[in-house]
Structure 1
Amino acid sequence: MKPFFFIVSMITLILSCNNTKQAEKEYIKSLEEKNELIQQELEEKNELIQQKLNDLENAYDDAIKDNQTVNIELEESRKRINEKIKELEPEKSNSNDYFTIGSTEKQVLEVMGTPTSYRDRGSLGKIMRFGLNSVSFENGKVVSYNNLDGNLKVRVKE
């Protein structure tokens, strides 16, 4: 009887070991499947990130091109304004020491020199600024001025 129990015990032990090996194989297979799913998910996310990165790079390139275009247009506008100012700049003469209401743009430029800014407001006239001071023109003649710091060479007509 002892050999019988011994044999049964051994068979049980062998079967349980086989079951354990089978369970380990299934567990390993399950882990491999999970690993494969995670790897696929990571690859999909990596593709999405790469696509978003490409979109951002394209948007950045477009913004740079737009900025360059704006800078070119701004520079062209500055050149046109400077050309208009040069057209209005007088040939230097010392004949006038001042300007008055009714003086021409040319006369003001002869007296004051190059303005710090120039603004053409179309039908509203033009404004030349000399520091804090301004001179307003309509139809090419001085109609008003603002002599905040007292540096305009202007006189009231007698």
Structure 2
Amino acid sequence: MSSSSVVSRTSRITGTRLSVGHAEDLGLDPDDGLEWVTLCDAHDTLVYSENKTQALRVNGPDFCDDCRTSARRRKATIISRTSKETGLPVTVASVASLGVEPTGGKRWLVSCDEHDTYAYTRTKQRALTTSTVEFCQQCRDLASQSPQ
């Protein structure tokens, strides 16, 4: 493995940076055959996964106590769910909770966490019911390949 397996992303749930990569590329030993790691950079905690896809889907509150505490404080304005069409993680958040100024009356954000794409909506209800296939090309492609 080369160090190119390591990617860094921001958790939309907590705003913390997560590093995801092969254990060896992160300077760690595999744990009971689990070779992929998600690392919370802010709190130096980690969790092992079976494969890269699983490691990329893990969010800080799934394994980091400090992130879990932070997520509880923000829970009223940040919601995690799974897309019915693709099975991928989706985050719904008020833009104010993310420290972003609302524009054009759009006060809510819905994001496809897997592909780092997002859309703004005017209401929480609309954000909760928006499908990722409405704004994420990769999700559209994935949904069109799935058997109906």
Query: Which bracket does the TM-score occupy, shorter chain normalised?
Result: under 0.3
Higher helix share: 1
State the TM-score, normalized to the length of structure 2.
0.27
Higher strand share: 2
